Amino acid sequence: VSTSRIVVIGGGVASAAAVAELRSEGYDGDLTLVSAEDAVPYERPPLSKEFLVGDPGDGAVKDPAWYQEQSVGLRLGLRATGLDLPGRTVTLSDGSVLGYDQLLLATGVRPRVLPGVEGDGVCYLRTIADATELRDRIHAAGHVAVLGGGFIGCEVAAAAIRLGKRATILEALPTLLYRALGPDLGDVMAGIHRSEGVDVRTGQQVTGVQSRAGGVTISTAGGAVDADVLVVGVGTVPNTELAEQAGLPAGNGIDVDEHFATAAPGVYAAGDVAAQRLPGRQSGVRVEHHDTATRHGRAAAHAMLGRREPFRDVHWFWSDQYDHTIQSAGLPDGSAELVIRGSLEQRSFSAFSLDGDRLRAVISLNRPADVLAARRLIARDHSVTAGQLRDESLPLKRLAAPAAAR
Amino acid sequence: METARWRDTINLDDLWEGDMIAVTVDGETVLLVNVDGTVRAYSNRCPHQASALDEGDLDGETLTCAKHLWEFNAVTGCGINPDDAQLKSFGCQVGDDGTIYVDIGR
């Protein structure tokens, strides 16, 4: 009797998507999901947004009964502590050992912890447990301080404002969302946060954080900030330790090819932790966004089922802040020309990264239809000019139509 | 027994194949889609967060919500991504003169 065992390590949406796809594509062998968290995989995007405001749904991707119906073994609340590549076994934190024929590492990322920035009233946000504690603290707080003006920090500040709290964002870089959006678009977002009442302090180096009874004092060169709670969102660290200990190449994430294969036979990696080699890219592409993680999980499942489909899905993400939606498609290229359609002042625009006649990426504010059209365009063979992209009388949808229909 | 209450909306001439449009029926916003001549009617609100589906994209049989890229089969209303979602469907028929009739169930 030929048997097959697949083990999936990690409790995020990449894992959930992988096990669901394996079953829906007819894989009927052993299937086990291991997660360090106590809950079945759930949606993380709401945790920095509506979950904090007061909608406490657990957001399970599939409810626990689904795993039972589909004969997916759940090993929750357990870490994978050891990986034996030649022996094809994983050791868990309770000492149990799982054998596998194929293994998916979807161990995700964890918040980067600043040395000394810990203690009562200092919160990092990744898990539903983190979000539950943060929600309780924000609801009880008068003043919420955020260290780091990235997506997590901006979304938490927006949630605090929605709850009627004072909010302060401290960011070392010249503007908010600087790395993700660049200086000009970042300034638009800083303007939005300021007009919603957030005290936005950019270019602020934090020199000390003092946790005291009932609050936190953050010292900066520009003065001290007293807050009831401090949320730290200063990036993440990929959870590569298990892979590294086993000898798998993992610099900034676990190195995988276009089929999610690592250097070891039968071992794959997907989601936030995977650094994927893609055509035209010098280094592995590691993406920390929900849609990519889901698509990775599905595609890795296909790879484990023996399909040879290189990953070509267009990367996409969104962030909701107040009544505004930021969306992006594609992978921007530092050397590309930035072309603006719409108006930064009116907070309705799409910023396209144009590389010759090829659209590489778009970042848009409150223009979801532009992003959909651009996403279609990026996925297909196309040729486009800066003039066409700027011309609001020309529907982007028409550029994205198949050549025959043009 | 409940009988269907057909309300007339637009004419098929105004809904090309591969197109979709939102219409208001008794205060309810209804999405009409035309996939290869087959017309379907759904609530215009995405089951995820109630975003307007007509701001999305219809590509072949795939309807994509613009807000968070949830995808649906526009003929069956079944979710593609995620696959356990479902569009709220309304009765829909096309009269001899091309009028599209919708029954929103009230």
Considering CB atoms only, which of B59, B68, B83 is closest to A376? B59
Residues A296-317: tens digit of each pLDDT: 999 999 999 999 899 999 999 9
Question: Greater confidence, A182 or A6?
Answer: A6
Residue A404: per-residue pLDDT: 46
CB contact under 8 A, A369 and B66: yes
Residue B83's pLDDT band (boundaries 50, 70, 90)?
A: confident
What integer is the mean pLDDT of B67-85? Answer: 92
pLDDT computed for residue B2 by the predictor? 60
- Determine, for residues A369 and B64 on separate chains, whether the beta-carbon distance falls below 8 Å: no
Q: CA nearest A332: which of A293, A362, A357, A358?
A: A362
List of residues 6+ apart from A228 with CB closer than 8 A: A121, A137, A140, A141, A142, A143, A144, A214, A215, A216
Please write the tens of the pLDDT for every residue from A67-76: 999 999 999 9
How is residue A395 annotated by DSSP? -
CA distance A59 to chain B (A): 11
- Per-residue pLDDT at A203 exceeds 80: yes
A131 by Cβ neighbours in 10 Å (0-12 / 13-18 / 19+) ranks as: buried
B67: which chain A residues are within 8 Å (Cβ-Cβ)?
318, 325, 368
Report the chain A residue with the minimal C-alpha distance to residue B48. A59
Minimal CA separation from A294 to chain B, in Å: 9
Strand, helix or coil for residue B80: strand
Which residue in the set B57, B83, B84 is minimally distant from A372, CB to CB? B57
Query: Which of A43, A23, A45, A46 lies closest to A33, judged by CA?
Result: A23
Q: With contacts defined as CB-CB under 8 Å, which chain A residues touch B84? A: 62
Q: Could you write out the DSSP letters of every residue in A220-284?
A: ETTEEEEESEEEE---EEE--HHHHHTT--EESEEEE-TT-B-SSTTEEE-GGGEEE--TT-SS-
A123-179 pLDDT, tens digit per residue, is 999 999 999 999 999 999 999 999 999 999 999 999 999 999 999 999 999 999 999
In contact, A183 and A173? CB cutoff 8 Å: no
Phi, psi angles (nearest 5°) of residue B67:
-75, -55
pLDDT at residue A405 greater than cutoff 60: no
In 3D space, the residue among A116, A143, A179, A142 whose CA is nearest the CA of residue A328 turns out to be A179
- CB-nearest to B69 from A61, A291, A373 is A291
Select the residue from A44, A295, A317, A372 to test the B interface by mutation, using most B Cβ atoms within 10 A: A372
- The pLDDT tens digits of the residues spanning A23-72 come to 999 999 999 999 999 999 999 999 999 999 987 678 899 999 999 999 99
Nearest to A248 by CA among A258, A238, A237, A240: A240
pLDDT higher than threshold 70 for residue A340: yes
Chain A contacts of B79, Cβ < 8 Å? none
* Chain A: residues touching B (Cβ < 8 Å): 20, 24, 61-62, 291, 294, 316, 318, 325, 368-369, 371-373, 376, 397
Please tell me the number of Cα atoms within 13 Å of A23 on its side-chain side.
Answer: 19
Write down the pLDDT at residue A1: 41
* CA-based nearest distance A99→chain B, Å: 30
Q: CB A294 to CB B81 under 8 A?
A: yes
What residue type is assigned to position B50 of the chain?
A
Q: Which of A208-212, A401-405, B84-88 has the lowest mean pLDDT?
A: A401-405
For residue A380, pLDDT over 60 is answered with yes
Whether the pTM exceeds 0.80: the reply is yes
